[in-house]
Amino acid sequence: MTLPMFIGDNRGLIARAASPAILAPRVSFEFFPPKTPEMEATLWQAIRRLEPLNPAFVSVTYGAGGGTRERTHRTVKRILDETSLQPAAHLTCVGAARQDVDAVIADYWTAGVRNIVALRGDPPGGVGGAYAPRADGYASATELTAAIHRIAPFEVMVGVYPEKHPESPSLDHDIDVLKAKIDAGAKVGISQFFFDIDAFLRFHERVRKAGVTIPIVPGIMPVTNFKGLVKMAAACEAAVPAWLAHLFEGLDDDAETRRLLAGAVAVELCAKLKGEGFDNFHFYTLNRADLVYAICLVLGLREFAV
């Protein structure tokens, strides 16, 4: 464990915590829109717990095909109305007509949203299924990003894939797609979760060599449900290293130890990345605050008055 790196040297993160600039995020938190009143209560506990850490933004996911359109919108709006946080709305275009997507974009601008995470969305059959754009829809995140900018001057963030997007023939192709998204106006790349840090660093180096200068923010997924992670990672083609599998071996019935390990693994990942010069992290919270909150404290973040 390389904890002392953070405990002894957290000035970069602390100093940046005074800056509200969206393009220099320190940490950001991703939530999904709740389906039930109970889930909504859990989400809001998480938001309230994480709010004083002054994240650069908090994002709310959007179902491919617009399945969560209302719930995402409601959640984003409530964040705007009731918190000091800067919300970023995820938006997908798969399976939707251009005019419907445009209406969502315009609604967000009217509501006061200024940040969008622009994504194509997974094929209707799920990750890895065959993708066919709708004839009257936007075909890719590139087209979506351009459309967003045609409608209003949002800050647009996009997804990047350190271990290659499952549908992509090569990493170089992915990097070409990223460059097209930047040409269309994307300002930040947020990565798919990963555990193979070398793969992430190699990807980042290739991206920089290709002339990409926008921030590439590592997406950090604290793993408490290892079996669930294995399924998700298989679909996304993210590697689950043998050391991680070994760590969680025999712990299926020991949720508490899994949680402690999840925190330790995420802290170590962030510490290694910090050592490589990264100090912006995007956390996939799964709407739970405690683990991410503790990880952030180790990273040197402290509460601000809200």
Q: Which residues are catalytic?
A: 30
Cα–Cα dist 19/6, whole Å: 20
Q: Which range touches ligand FAD (CB under 6 A), out of 75-83, 96-104, 164-172, 268-276?
A: 164-172
Cα–Cα dist 85/58, whole Å: 7
Query: Torsion over CA of 120, 121, 127 and 133, rounded to 10 degrees?
Result: -60
Q: Does residue 28 sit in helix, strand or coil?
A: strand
Nearest approach, Cβ of 190 to ligand FAD (angstroms)? 4
C-beta of 123 vs 241, nearer to ligand FAD: 123
Give the type of residue at 290: D
Q: Which range touches ligand FAD (CB under 6 A), out of 162-170, 200-208, 247-255, 297-305?
A: 162-170
Q: Which range touches ligand FAD (CB under 6 A), out of 98-106, 108-116, 117-125, 290-298?
A: 117-125
Cα–Cα dist 234/247, whole Å: 18
C-beta of 63 vs 222, nearer to ligand FAD: 63
Q: Which range touches ligand FAD (CB under 6 A), out of 97-105, 139-147, 207-215, 237-245?
A: 139-147
Which residues, at least 6 apart from 250, have a Cβ–Cβ distance to it below 8 Å? none
C-beta of 168 vs 225, nearer to ligand FAD: 168
Q: Of 189-228, which residues contact ligand FAD (CB under 6 A)?
A: 190, 192, 219
- 117 within 8 A of 76, measured Cβ to Cβ: no
By C-alpha distance, which of 86, 109, 78 is closest to 28? 86
Give the type of residue at 76: V
Binding mask 70-109 for ligand FAD (x = CB under 6 A): --------------------x-x-----------------
| Residue 162 in contact with ligand FAD, rule: CB under 6 A | no
| Residue 122 in contact with ligand FAD, rule: CB under 6 A | yes
Cα–Cα dist 83/77, whole Å: 10
- 258 within 8 A of 288, measured Cβ to Cβ: no
Cα–Cα dist 36/157, whole Å: 28
Q: Of 224-253, which residues contact ligand FAD (CB under 6 A)?
A: none
Count of chain residues binding ligand FAD (CB under 6 A): 25
Which stretches of the chain bind ligand FAD, using CB under 6 A? 61-64, 90, 92, 117, 119-122, 140-142, 159, 165, 167-168, 173-174, 177, 181, 190, 192, 219
